[in-house]
């Protein structure tokens, strides 16, 4: 009898312990999900992209590039990454694969530059050839025309369009309307370049006097999430407002998105920025948040693992620490909004859809991790 009781107690203990260690299902409005840690030990992961073999290429803000294998093992930092300016919001930022990566193994990454005057910096883009332990043939192909005091609003999401041109999102670097609305500066702009850094031949301001030929759109504050819509090929972006006024926009050639002439936000000290939320010739957002959630990372879901989320827009939240999901109707009007991963209490910096259709998010901290969202079993 004592042996039987011991077996029952041990079995109960093991079962209870196993259940406690097992990821617990979480409910959303349309799917039960489980959240697991896919990889950890990362220092402020900022950008990531899946390689064709299923491995994950990840940047760390401190200036390191790593590869995570399909079991979640994190590589040593890859050699060959150039030095970057890590003051404030600067660092090694986004990374994407060349459209012909299968043949040329070329990657592109954005970063904050180190200038002769180390108080100054700019957003720049380089390309390189990726190997398992290093990158080689590193070449800077583009940089902002003007420098600015290091630290704030670098933008820096990279997205290839359907014609093989590269979008680079740029923040306002804390400048005002004279610079952001001025087409002779790169502040608060999205640029569109070829793989050598030259302006795309059909850019909207190519032949406009006193305008930079690589500019695609302007009037942005700080786009830190961008994604090419899988059906339309249109660039979507989310951008930081100040105190209130974070936005989701569809970014079209030549459009002015209004910052800071129009905004749904106010200054951090509570004073008005402007009394206008709309003006002729300036675009309205598809959606805005007030209060701000501090947007970063973006995904329009197309996988099969979560069929009820197909076409939904996901945005990371830094300040409010969640993964935001929005379902839109055919007119791009918000039908539902949901906040996932609130219990994780982690700043969400980047979002990717894996080859398995699961969703992977990077948490923004010195002990950062990659979390994996899967269907609950």
Residues annotated catalytic, as ranges: 153
**Beta partners for 26?**
33
How many of the other CB atoms lie within 10 Å of CB of 188?
A: 30
The 8-class DSSP code of residue 9 comes to: H
Whose structure tokens read 């369009």? 161
Q: Rounded CA gap, 291 and 167, in Å?
A: 28
Dihedral through CA 301, CA 302, CA 307, CA 311, nearest 10? 60
Is the four-CA dihedral 285, 290, 296, 301 of positive or negative sign?
Answer: negative
Is the link from the previous residue into 96 a cis peptide, with omega within 30 of 0?
Answer: no
**Beta partners for 127?**
108, 139
Q: Rounded CA gap, 37 and 370, in Å?
A: 6
Whose structure tokens read 């617990």? 24
Q: Rounded CA gap, 237 and 253, in Å?
A: 13
Q: Rounded CA gap, 45 and 57, in Å?
A: 10
Length reported for the chain: 377
| Greatest CA separation for the chain | 93
Nearest to 258 by CA among 280, 232, 243, 240: 280
Q: Answer for the pair 181, 189: CB distance below 8 angstroms, yes or no.
A: no
**Beta partners for 148?**
121
SS3 category, 1:
coil
Q: Rounded CA gap, 347 and 94, in Å?
A: 17
Long-range contacts of 331-336 (CB under 8 A, 24+ apart): 332/250, 332/286, 334/286, 334/287, 336/29
How many of the other CB atoms lie within 10 Å of CB of 149?
A: 13
């Amino acid at each position: 009898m004592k042996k039987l009781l011991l077996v029952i107690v041990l079995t109960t203990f093991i079962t209870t312990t196993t259940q406690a260690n097992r990821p617990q299902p979480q409910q959303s409005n349309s799917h039960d999900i489980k959240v697991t840690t896919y990889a950890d030990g990362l220092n402020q992961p900022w950008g990531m992209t899946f390689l064709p073999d299923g491995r994950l290429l990840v940047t760390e803000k401190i200036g390191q590039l790593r590869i995570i294998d399909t079991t979640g093992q994190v590589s040593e930092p890859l050699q060959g990454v150039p030095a970057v300016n890590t003051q404030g919001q600067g660092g090694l930022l986004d990374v994407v694969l060349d459209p012909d990566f299968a043949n040329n193994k070329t990657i592109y990454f954005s970063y904050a530059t180190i200038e002769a005057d180390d108080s100054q910096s700019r957003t720049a883009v380089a390309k390189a050839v990726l190997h398992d332990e290093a990158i080689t043939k590193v070449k800077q192909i583009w940089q902002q025309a003007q420098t600015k005091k290091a630290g704030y609003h670098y933008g820096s999401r990279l997205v290839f369009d359907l014609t093989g041109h590269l979008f680079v999102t740029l923040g306002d670097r804390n400048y005002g309307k004279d610079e952001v609305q001025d087409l002779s500066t790169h502040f608060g702009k999205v640029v569109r370049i070829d793989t050598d850094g030259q302006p795309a031949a059909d850019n909207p301001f190519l032949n406009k006097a006193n305008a930079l030929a690589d500019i695609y759109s302007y009037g942005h504050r700080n786009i830190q999430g961008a994604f090419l819509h899988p059906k339309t090929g249109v660039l979507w972006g989310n951008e930081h407002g100040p105190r209130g006024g974070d936005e989701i926009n569809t970014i079209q050639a030549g459009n002015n998105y209004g910052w800071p002439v129009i905004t749904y936000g106010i200054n951090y000290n509570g004073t008005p920025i402007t009394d206008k939320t709309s003006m002729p010739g300036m675009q309205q957002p598809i959606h805005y948040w007030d209060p701000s959630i501090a947007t970063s990372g973006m995904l329009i879901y197309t996988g099969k693992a979560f069929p009820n989320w197909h076409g939904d827009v996901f945005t990371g939240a830094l300040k409010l620490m969640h993964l935001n999901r929005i379902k839109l109707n055919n007119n791009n009007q918000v039908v539902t909004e949901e906040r996932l991963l609130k219990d994780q209490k982690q700043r969400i910096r980047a979002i990717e859809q894996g080859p398995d259709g699961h969703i992977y998010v990077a948490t923004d901290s010195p002990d950062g991790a990659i979390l994996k969202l899967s269907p609950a079993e």
